[in-house]
Amino acid sequence: MVHLFGSQFPSAAGSNAPSLPLPAVVIELGELFAGAGHELSLVGGPVRDLFLGRISPDLDFTTDADPDATIAVVKKWADTFWEIGRDFGTIGLRKGQHTIEVTTYRAEAYDPDSRKPVVAFGTSLEDDLFRRDFTMNAMALRLPSLELVDPYGGVKDLQAGLLRTPGAPSSSFSDDPLRMMRAARFASQLGVTVAPEVSAAMKDMAGRIEIISAERVRDELVKLVNGKDPRTGVDLLVDTGLADFVLPEVAALRLEIDEHHRHKDVYQHSLTVLEQACSLETDDDGALPGPDFVLRFAALMHDVGKPATRRFEPSGAVSFRHHDMVGSKLTAKRMKKLRFDNDTIKAVSRLVELHMRFYGYGEAGWTDSAVRRYVNDAGPLLERLHRLTRSDVTTRNKRKAEQLAFAYDDLEQRIATLQEQEQLDAVRPDLDGARIMALLGIKPGPLVGRAYRFLLEERLENGPAASEEAEAELLAWWREQPEFVPVVDQGAPAPRGDRNQ
């Protein structure tokens, strides 16, 4: 490790700045490029993170060398290198445990109708820094001298917790509209405040986010939601109008503010649920360490079905019947548009669908079969469902909040007791598919599935049964099915179920 001391930085860093460690490969690479007659600087996030007292997992460098010259310098030094980003001036490589990217000085801009950047290589470090997204990322360390280059006041802005652009925000966002999403992400991750002129440009140019690919938008959204303060990041998306294009279902929740106060502010409630879900991620048993995107995004989206289901009842009350089911479908639809993988879509939308299932337990209580169904329906999402349901309590009525917490404590205790008795988290029918087919004399097909579901319902309703009892129940069910034909004698035809596959 190489240590950088506060005295090496401009006075803005402060005389008491801590020593900042750098991996030795940074200096080694700088010396290699210098020996070959080229400039090299550590740039962007890794430099910013030095001032935040942390080391970036990836190391980004910029150089005056073109990609061919970069390969010539690193090919014998690196463990491996790749040229996937060559068209953008970037050569990737690995040295020991470090992943490194070296990019030729450049300027890039988006064609108004294109999702892909048009790249032009630059000639100076200062010009390269000017094209970067924010001043706190427009800092560099020249190598191997470790000279800080900060032409746009990144250190000062970082200390002030202010997010600004090196040039006019409108120019920066025109070049790469994804930077507007990144501003909201940094507000979540770093706790910075977006400068007024940056926020104004985001509002004016929000619609330009539509030229960015869904995958890039999705990746920024995930980082935002997984940040330290996702509430602030989401709020910025909504306030600037970006959410109208990225998460319109969340933006629509603001329209549900009821001036007559007949129901709570659904938008602020959703942000509070998100905040509370974050606080419940890591508990003593470590069952759900954070950040957990599935839980957090389900918390944010859990009430998006309310705008479409709001009804004013004759009594003056407001209802949102089936908003859980509607919200689940809206969530899945939005996530598909953002190109999330199927497993994540299913998990989040299922949690949204189930988030109301608990309510009513405290008043009426549940039978053991109802508890089994709750666990069976949640499946591997049970731990997340526990936390989502608890997070959904935002009432200011202390007594009501305590009652709900007590009821859910009771439900979790009953689940634990039943799991000990029955291994509830792996509920299966008392007979498997092979035994069902042998007993009924049928072949694989839809009829086996129907029989299996019948036995599963019996298992959930009544708990485990002995094999003989389960077989008797199955045979009784079978005699009531339209496919069943009694066998009169040895020459009688086989049950229709055998011929109907």
Residue 40 belongs to domain with CATH number: 3.30.460.10
Q: What is the DSSP string of 462-484?
A: H----HHHHHHHHHHHHHTSTT-
**Count of beta carbons in the 10 Å neighbourhood of residue 175:** 18
Contacts of range 321-324, beta carbons closer than 8 Å, 24 or more positions apart: 323/356, 324/352, 324/353, 324/354, 324/355, 324/356
Interatomic CA distance for residues 144 and 31, integer angstroms: 6
Interatomic CA distance for residues 331 and 334, integer angstroms: 5
Q: What is the pLDDT of residue 15?
A: 35
Kindly state whether residues 155 and 21 are assigned to the same domain: yes
Interatomic CA distance for residues 146 and 375, integer angstroms: 57
- Give me the number of domains the chain comprises: 4
194 and 154 in contact (C-beta within 8 Å)?
no
Among 425, 457, 491, residue at a domain's last position = 425
Q: What is the pLDDT of residue 5?
A: 40
413: its two tokens = 């205790």
Residues with Cβ within 8 Å of residue 208, at least 6 apart in sequence: 173, 174, 177, 180
DSSP helix/strand/coil, 492: coil
Kindly state whether residues 356 and 419 are assigned to the same domain: yes
Residue type, 443: K
Residue 349 belongs to domain with CATH number: 1.10.3210
Kindly state whether residues 268 and 417 are assigned to the same domain: yes
Q: What is the pLDDT of residue 20?
A: 56
2 and 27 in contact (C-beta within 8 Å)?
yes
**Count of beta carbons in the 10 Å neighbourhood of residue 5:** 12
Kindly state whether residues 407 and 470 are assigned to the same domain: no
Interatomic CA distance for residues 448 and 394, integer angstroms: 46
Kindly state whether residues 201 and 242 are assigned to the same domain: yes
Kindly state whether residues 314 and 384 are assigned to the same domain: yes
Interatomic CA distance for residues 358 and 412, integer angstroms: 11
Interatomic CA distance for residues 408 and 404, integer angstroms: 6
Kindly state whether residues 152 and 176 are assigned to the same domain: no
* Residue among 290, 272, 204 at smallest CA distance from 235: 272
Among 224, 246, 268, residue at a domain's last position = 246
Chain position carrying tokens 């009804």: 311
* Residue among 147, 148, 143, 217 at smallest CA distance from 178: 217
DSSP helix/strand/coil, 91: strand
Q: What is the pLDDT of residue 432?
A: 87
Could you list the residue range(s) of the whole structural domain that residue 73 is in? 2-160
Residue 198 belongs to domain with CATH number: 1.10.110.30
Interatomic CA distance for residues 263 and 304, integer angstroms: 15
* Residue among 6, 61, 16 at smallest CA distance from 39: 61
Question: Beta partners for 104?
Answer: 63
Question: Beta partners for 95?
Answer: 98
253 and 307 in contact (C-beta within 8 Å)?
yes
Q: What is the pLDDT of residue 2?
A: 43
Measured N-to-C along each axis, helices 342-354 and 293-301 cross at an angle, to the nearest 10 degrees, of: 50
Chain position carrying tokens 């389960």: 470
Kindly state whether residues 110 and 233 are assigned to the same domain: no
Kindly state whether residues 190 and 227 are assigned to the same domain: yes
Kindly state whether residues 339 and 232 are assigned to the same domain: no
Interatomic CA distance for residues 303 and 299, integer angstroms: 8
In sign, the C-alpha dihedral spanning 344, 345, 346, 349 is positive
Burial of 6 (0-12, 13-18, 19+ CB in 10 A): middle
Q: What is the pLDDT of residue 12?
A: 36
Kindly state whether residues 11 and 116 are assigned to the same domain: yes
Q: In the structure, how many helices (H) and strands (E) does the chain have?
A: 25, 15
Question: Beta partners for 106?
Answer: 121
For the chain, give the longest Cα–Cα distance. 101
Interatomic CA distance for residues 250 and 266, integer angstroms: 10
Helix ranges (DSSP H) in 338-379: 342-354, 361-364, 368-378
Q: List average pLDDT for each run of 10 residues in the chain, which is 501 residues long.
A: 42 41 91 97 94 85 96 96 91 95 80 65 90 95 95 95 96 93 97 97 97 96 97 98 97 70 77 95 71 97 92 78 93 98 98 88 73 88 93 86 83 84 70 89 88 87 86 91 71 46 40
Chain position carrying tokens 């053991």: 368
Kindly state whether residues 38 and 139 are assigned to the same domain: yes
| φ/ψ of residue 445, rounded to 5 | 160, -175
Interatomic CA distance for residues 45 and 137, integer angstroms: 6
Among 378, 405, 425, residue at a domain's last position = 425
Residues with Cβ within 8 Å of residue 202, at least 6 apart in sequence: 169, 173, 180, 183, 194, 236, 240, 241, 242
Interatomic CA distance for residues 247 and 211, integer angstroms: 15
Interatomic CA distance for residues 225 and 275, integer angstroms: 10
Interatomic CA distance for residues 349 and 332, integer angstroms: 6
